[in-house]
């Protein structure tokens, strides 16, 4: 087992990792930028090293500073958390070459699965259903039309070098293909310096359902069921739950088996998640793989009674996975709300500043993962996540009641937060019925209703 | 930004109703904040905080703003930022006083140094980084020991301004 673990992260996830280390009896090192001097993770850890000024590229995103901190404290392993350097294959490689264990999969796997087209190819090889599309770049309008005829409209034109919604166009029928192709190509050239496009089938009303995986260094891989993550705004998840209200035990077994097959094919180890898009007919397609622990991991932990961070640490230290697939049975229902320092009445504009008063909910089945406290200054330099509120109950209906109750008890004063927004969403009939897809938030969002909640 | 310009800025802030002014220019940043009877000038880059006591026009007749007692107790001279310039570590690593284990240290207490002169080495990931002085002055105190681990912003030297 490791003699000391350095946590290359901040905020609630740094605390989360420190907690797992404490329970395993492993000393911890926190790293922090000057603005995080009074952050809880520096207090909870056994040692803390200041690594730089506030900008991420000079602190939390800086491999040299982080590895130097590991060297001077004698840490023999680094847990990268999520975000920052968690999926940076160069960082993983640097750690290993400095004799520091990177808690996660190998640099090779991170690199491969981080490349969208390589990942898709790898999954295809493994027999995992992928979104039908072109085999790489489509070089002409004629070829685009041919491919689209093959897979069926509607299709999406996507930039090969792209991301963030740029260079993407939905094409609903053949007569619009030529025009859309030219425009998407030009946009891609302007945004990424590469006009190359590929085509994918456009899935209408998709649900985002992902499978949690755990693999050890000996080839044992299990899945821990699914998480429903369709409640998103601008591709950022806001509310997640396990199990998904529409996944039956049969579908779970099927998706799980497919995900394990995909992970095994690339030699995956540690914790990871395969994200699928599910269409209205219940067909699911590989979207991407996240080779790290995720923000929403607590809902899986509550329902499967497992500590995913401890498992990551054990696996990285060379222990065999001691959970068998048959033991994995969901118990009850868990829902998580991501509470961000954002103004829901003002286009979710970030709202950093001092939290004057902070009171977390408690009681049965309530878990809060947070680094915030009364008088804490939320800095403007990092993401806006202030707290994760997770509830667990015997069934979904009870979980929603418990969530409503806990949101009412959650007091954060001094900054704007998305608590009123969550209260609004969970009261909609669609949410209560489990009847939503990834367009849900953009379709139903009503500033006026949220305002009423704030004023009441 | 030279000292004349800084003096002018301080006068502007002091006379105006401005409480805080931050100016960034060509990668250098300066922040001037009014603190009742004092005007605090901070340049976040090197972490220097210099407090000038400005003569205020007719201060309100109440208890004078006595500075909070220095936490270290001993330290009026050593932490008096009017007198000393703090050399802070720009990185995380191991501090070395000399270029090699058997070589003479770069500087000793009492040495005069000038801008650009190497004061020490900080080693990180097997790479040696020379840390240079940004000011002229005399080495008043060396606050870390040879081969000691240092973190970002940790004070390494106090240089007495001359």
**Burial (CB count within 10 angstroms: exposed 0-12, middle 13-18, buried 19+), residue A224:** buried
Say how far apart CA A88 and CA A91 lie, in whole Å.
Answer: 5
Q: What does the buried/exposed string (b/e) look like for A278-293 if buried means 16 or more CB atoms within 10 Å of the residue's CB?
A: bbeeeebbbbbbbbbb
Q: What does the buried/exposed string (b/e) look like for A422-435 if buried means 16 or more CB atoms within 10 Å of the residue's CB?
A: bbbbbeeeebeeee
Among the residues of A126-240, which ranges form H helices?
141-151, 177-192
Please indicate whether, in this complex, the C-beta atoms of B125 and A71 are within 8 angstroms of each other.
yes
Give the A window 87-116 contacts with B, CB below 8 Å: 98
Please indicate whether, in this complex, the C-beta atoms of A73 and B154 are within 8 angstroms of each other.
no
Q: What is the pLDDT of residues A100-125, one digit of tens each?
A: 999 999 999 999 998 877 898 999 99
Average pLDDT over every residue of A334-339: 98
Q: What is the pLDDT of residues A227-237, one digit of tens each?
A: 999 999 988 89
Instruction: Determine the topology of domain A141-201 in CATH.
Output: Dna Ligase; domain 1 (3.30.1490)
- pLDDT, position A279: 92
DSSP secondary structure letters along A248-292:
-HHHHHHHHHHHHHHHHHTT--EEEEEEEEE-TTS-EEEEEEE-S
Say how far apart CA A125 and CA A375 lie, in whole Å.
Answer: 53
Q: What is the pLDDT of residues B99-133, one digit of tens each?
A: 998 999 999 999 999 999 999 999 998 899 999 99
Please indicate whether, in this complex, the C-beta atoms of A65 and B154 are within 8 angstroms of each other.
no
- The pTM (predicted TM-score) of the whole model is 0.82
Mean pLDDT of chain B: 76
- pLDDT, position B40: 52
For chain A, the domains span 5-103, 141-201, 207-455
Q: Does B94 touch chain A (CB under 8 A)?
A: yes
Q: Does B91 touch chain A (CB under 8 A)?
A: yes
Please indicate whether, in this complex, the C-beta atoms of A49 and B124 are within 8 angstroms of each other.
no
Instruction: Determine the topology of domain A207-455 in CATH.
Output: D-amino Acid Aminotransferase; Chain A, domain 1 (3.30.470)
Tokens encoding A89: 């294959």
Q: How close A377 gets to chain B, by Cα (Å)?
A: 19
For chain B, the domains span 1-56, 85-160
Instruction: Determine the topology of domain B85-160 in CATH.
Output: OB fold (Dihydrolipoamide Acetyltransferase, E2P) (2.40.50)
Average pLDDT over every residue of A193-214: 92
ipTM given for this complex: 0.79
Strand segments (E) across chain B: 20-25, 28-35, 38-43, 48-53, 84-88, 93-96, 112-113, 118-124, 127-132, 137-142, 148-150, 155-160
Q: Does A1 touch chain B (CB under 8 A)?
A: no
User: Is the Cα torsion angle A162, A165, A167, A172 positive or negative in sign?
Assistant: positive
Q: What is the pLDDT of residues A152-178, one digit of tens each?
A: 999 999 888 766 666 788 999 999 999
Q: How close A104 gets to chain B, by Cα (Å)?
A: 22
Class of A5-103 per CATH? alpha beta
- pLDDT, position A54: 96
């Amino acid at each position: 087992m490791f003699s000391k673990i350095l946590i290359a992260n901040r905020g609630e996830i740094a605390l989360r990792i420190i907690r797992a280390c404490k329970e395993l009896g492993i000393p911890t090192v926190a790293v922090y930028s000057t603005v995080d001097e009074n952050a809880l993770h520096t207090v909870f850890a056994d040692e803390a090293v200041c690594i730089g000024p506030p900008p991420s590229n000079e602190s939390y995103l800086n491999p040299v500073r982080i590895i130097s901190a590991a060297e001077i404290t004698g840490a023999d392993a680094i847990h990268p958390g999520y975000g920052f350097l968690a999926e940076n294959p160069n960082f993983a490689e640097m750690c290993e070459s400095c004799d520091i264990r990177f808690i996660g999969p190998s640099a090779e796997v991170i690199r491969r699965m981080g490349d969208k087209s390589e990942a898709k190819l790898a999954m295809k090889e493994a027999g995992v259903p992928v979104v039908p599309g072109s085999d790489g770049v489509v070089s002409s309008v004629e070829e685009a039309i041919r491919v689209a005829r093959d897979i069926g409209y509607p299709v999406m034109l996507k930039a090969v070098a792209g991301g963030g919604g740029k260079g993407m166009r939905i094409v609903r029928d053949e007569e619009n293909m030529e025009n859309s192709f030219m425009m998407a190509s030009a946009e891609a050239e302007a945004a990424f310096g590469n006009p190359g496009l590929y085509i994918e089938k456009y899935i209408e009303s998709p649900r985002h359902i992902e499978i949690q995986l755990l693999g050890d260094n000996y080839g044992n891989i299990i899945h821990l069921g699914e998480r429903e993550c369709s409640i998103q705004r601008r591709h950022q998840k806001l509310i997640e739950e396990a199990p998904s209200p529409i996944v039956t035990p049969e579908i779970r077994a099927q998706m799980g088996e497919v995900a394990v097959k995909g992970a095994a094919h690339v030699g995956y180890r540690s914790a990871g998640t395969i994200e699928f898009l599910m269409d209205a007919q219940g067909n699911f397609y590989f979207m991407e793989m996240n080779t790290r622990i995720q923000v929403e991991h607590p809902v899986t932990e509550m329902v499967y009674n497992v500590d995913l961070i401890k498992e990551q640490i054990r696996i990285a230290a060379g222990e065999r996975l001691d959970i068998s697939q048959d033991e994995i049975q969901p118990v009850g229902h868990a829902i998580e709300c991501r509470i961000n320092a954002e103004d829901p009445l003002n286009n979710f504009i970030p709202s950093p500043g001092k939290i004057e008063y902070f009171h977390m909910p408690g009681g049965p089945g309530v878990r809060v993962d947070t680094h915030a406290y009364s008088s804490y200054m939320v800095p403007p330099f990092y993401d806006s996540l202030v707290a994760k509120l997770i509830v667990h109950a015997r069934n979904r209906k009870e979980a929603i009641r418990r969530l409503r109750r806990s949101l009412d008890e959650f007091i954060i004063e001094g900054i704007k937060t998305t608590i009123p927004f969550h209260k609004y969403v969970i009261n909609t009939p669609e949410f209560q019925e489990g009847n939503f897809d990834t367009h849900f938030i953009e379709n139903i969002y009503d500033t006026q209703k949220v305002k009423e909640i704030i004023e009441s | 930004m030279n000292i004349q310009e800084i003096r002018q800025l301080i006068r502007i802030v002091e006379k105006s109703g401005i409480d805080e002014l931050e100016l960034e220019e060509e990668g250098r940043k300066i922040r001037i904040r009014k603190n009742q009877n004092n005007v605090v000038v901070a340049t976040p880059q090197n972490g220097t905080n210099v407090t000038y006591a400005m003569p205020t026009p007719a201060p309100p007749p109440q208890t004078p703003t006595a500075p909070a007692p220095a936490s270290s107790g001993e330290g009026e001279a050593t932490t008096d930022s009017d007198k000393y310039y703090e050399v802070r570590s720009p990185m995380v690593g191991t501090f070395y006083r000399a270029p090699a284990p058997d070589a003479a240290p770069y500087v000793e207490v009492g040495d005069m140094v000038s801008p650009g002169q190497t004061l020490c080495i900080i080693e990180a990931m097997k790479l040696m980084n020379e840390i240079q002085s940004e000011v002229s002055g005399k080495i008043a105190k060396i606050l870390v020991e040879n081969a000691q681990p240092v973190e970002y912003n940790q004070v390494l030297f106090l240089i007495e301004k001359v």
